[in-house]
Amino acid sequence: MSSPTRRDFTIGLAAAGTLAASGLAAEAQGARRLVVGIPVTPRSLEPLREFSNVAWRIGYNIFESLLGIDYKNGLAVVPALAESHRRISPTVIEFTLKDGVRFHDGEVMTAEDVVFSFGPGRMTGDKAPGRAVASVFVGTVARVEAVDRRTVRFATRTTDPLIEQRLAGWGAQIVSRRAFLAAPSFEAWERNPIGTGPFRVKDFRIDERCILEAHRDYHGGRPPVDEIQFRALPELAARMNALAAGEADIVTEVSLDQAANIDTMAGRHLVGGPILNLRALVFDKQHPQLADPRMRRALSLAIDRKAIVDGLYGGRTVARATQMHPAFGALHDATRPGSAFDPALARKLLAEAGYKGEPIPYRTHASYYTQQVQTAQVLVEMWREAGITVDLQVRENWQQIYDTSSPRGIRDWSNSILFQDPVGTLVRLYGPAGSVQTVTREWTSTAFNEAAAVLETSLDVAERRRAYNRLLDIYEAEDPPGCTLHDLVMFYGKKRSVNWTPYPVESMDFGPGNLSLGA
């Protein structure tokens, strides 16, 4: 599958035309509207049901947490729904809520809403719909108590060096207790949840669109537009066409080779770049050809990451040979090489493992990540050159990729750096509560889980560094659950009249202070 050329834009005319035909891209009388072309919609708008690149993109505008991250100023943790907080003990932290914050339904937020958001009905109960996701993101929270209407206390199960970052991140969003309980079903709630963000849900249709409207009582000031329309246009050609025709103000997941095409569009330009997310592969050790860790290590050693970055991304991202990133601060070690490109060692390991060229399935999504299929094709060729036979299988959705009715082998993934710490990626995703071990069940490791427990609870930097390096030893060589490729990129095509700054994360902030529309 190749990227669209200027001539290929005609492929997307019908899809892009539906924006205008449905009236969704037209300006209402006196309304200010932003249209964003995206490849797919999330399946749910409830943060505790889905965490994905596309869910974060939309959910950032609907929900807020007690604390936030300032992406324009060094990823500092800053007040959000709480005006202040203080540590009472190593395991107890107290928050004072902002006064007068209103939910989308007009109700004033109180400490009871915070308690409910983290309570058994939504998050912690055995049958709570958000239990699985919550255990990954805020699993160290033991209890939440309302002291008074504007004061709430959190107690953690043990010391947690990252509790402030957890409460500023995904899974910690505050929802309306009254609205949640009034919803006729959880399925109805997750299509139209009530938060405190600058926009509320107006219309959500899976695989079609998500329309948000301005929250007029937003505590952070008047939203800059009256409506945001996220429109699903799976083909890049359709998104490019919508941008060229003026039917979309911003389009996402643009491949770098489309920069020249965007430059020919009057009043359009390309923005974005690497984000805090590691493009990765996951190996299912249940597959007979991947049971031997030497096979999985060989797959990683056969990858020339620099060639991928230079060839597909023009050098505009960073090759990553392991789960190490500067965002990890004191735990970052720039000298650790990770899984360097070493096809000779890969072949040696293949021979030791007794590999005879049996095919290994590799499932990739047709259009989820930028340059996804192109990257997969390059990987298959690199593996072929090392003597590994890989059967590339392009799927239309993630359900097909995760399907267990036929043998799974390799799949695509991305690992968001949710905290400025490896707990936010390596432990969150591959650890004892992570989806690789608990949901997809592709891999498990007792040794990994033991080191993860130290990293999650220790306050000693030296001890945490040792635990982190132990995790990396397992991830890279001893028993690899997968491997990293490069920093994920997010390139956007947009109208120059749209004054919007992309953050180094998946979210798209369209609130006051980060968006304005010119003439």
DSSP string, 261-305: HHHTSTTEEEEEEEEEEEEEEEE-TTSGGGSSHHHHHHHHHT--H
Residue 475 has what DSSP assignment? I
Low-confidence ranges of the chain (pLDDT < 50): 1-18, 20-29
H or E element that contains 484: strand 482-495
What is the CB neighbour count within 10 angstroms for residue 129? Answer: 19
Per CATH, the homologous superfamily of domain 7-62+197-267+496-517 is: Periplasmic binding protein-like II (3.40.190.10)
Q: Domains of the chain: which residue ranges?
A: 7-62+197-267+496-517, 67-178, 275-488
Tell me which fold the domain 67-178 belongs to: Dipeptide-binding Protein; domain 1 (3.90.76)
The CA-atom distances, in angstroms, between 349 and each of 165, 295, 355, 459, 476 are: 40, 7, 9, 38, 14
Strand order in the sheet with 92-97: 82-89, 92-97, 151-156, 141-148
CATH class for the domain made up of 275-488: alpha beta
What is the CB neighbour count within 10 angstroms for residue 205? Answer: 11
Tokens of 13: 């005319």
Residues with Cβ within 8 Å of residue 14, at least 6 apart in sequence: none
pLDDT score for 21: 42
pLDDT score for 370: 87
List 153's β-bridge partners, or say none: 94, 145
Tokens of 406: 């036929």
- CA-CA distance, 124 to 246, in Å (whole number)? 46
What is the CB neighbour count within 10 angstroms for residue 284? Answer: 25
pLDDT score for 259: 87
H or E element that contains 92: strand 92-97
pLDDT score for 257: 87
Q: What angle do CA 14, 20, 23 make, to 5 degrees?
A: 135
